[in-house]
Amino acid sequence: MTDHAGAFTIRAATIEDGHALAELHVKTFNETHGTWPSGPNYEIRKWQWDELFKTADGTWFCLVITNREGALIGFAKGQPYSHPDHPFFSGELNKIYLLKQYHRLGLGKRLLAAAAKRFISMGIESMLLFGDAQNPSNHFYEAMGAEKLFAKNGEFHGGYGWRDIKPIADLGIG
């Protein structure tokens, strides 16, 4: 496989990314989950991102990955997390998406590592994410050391957790 690492950059998202983030969010969501007739559209996603950037108070972050041309191809958003059902986790990676054409290039690992580093810089050393139990990317989370989180009734609904994110951050690829 060709090393593409130099062709991609991970950086913090800015308010100026709002338009491109909204478009990317719709496209990657639909690639991952299928197109929903009543699913989130560009206008909804743009409003959501605009609202987030209005409250850029350091309690959340969004990292974007760009290609050589500077176009956004993926993103990860995280925030602190506290819930009695999952007391071992202090960060929530509530969004991580990468355009399908960029899968299998190691970019998801780089983005996950960068998110773990950002959490650590916030004093957060564990994280979880809640996704779709049928998400085709679930194998990626498991390969990256996540444990499945089961509901009290034993069912799996798509939750994954890392009790220690230092190994991910230390991959040297974030």
- Tell me the pLDDT tens digit for each residue of 101-134: 999 999 999 999 999 999 999 999 999 999 888 8
Burial class (CB in 10 A: 0-12, 13-18, 19+), 69: exposed
- 16 versus 173: which is more confidently predicted? 16
Strand order from edge to edge, sheet including 61-66: 9-12, 61-66, 72-80, 91-98, 127-130, 156-162, 147-150
Residue 2: pLDDT above 60?
Answer: no
Q: For residue 120, how many other CB atoms are within 10 A of its CB?
A: 17
- Tell me the pLDDT tens digit for each residue of 13-30: 999 999 999 999 999 988
Q: What is the mean pLDDT of residues 145-157?
A: 92
What pLDDT shows up at residue 33? 78
- Tell me the pLDDT tens digit for each residue of 54-92: 987 889 999 999 999 999 999 999 999 998 888 899 999
Identify the structural domains of the chain with CATH numbers, from first to last.
5-169 (3.40.630.30)
What pLDDT shows up at residue 5? 56
Residue 173: pLDDT above 70?
Answer: no
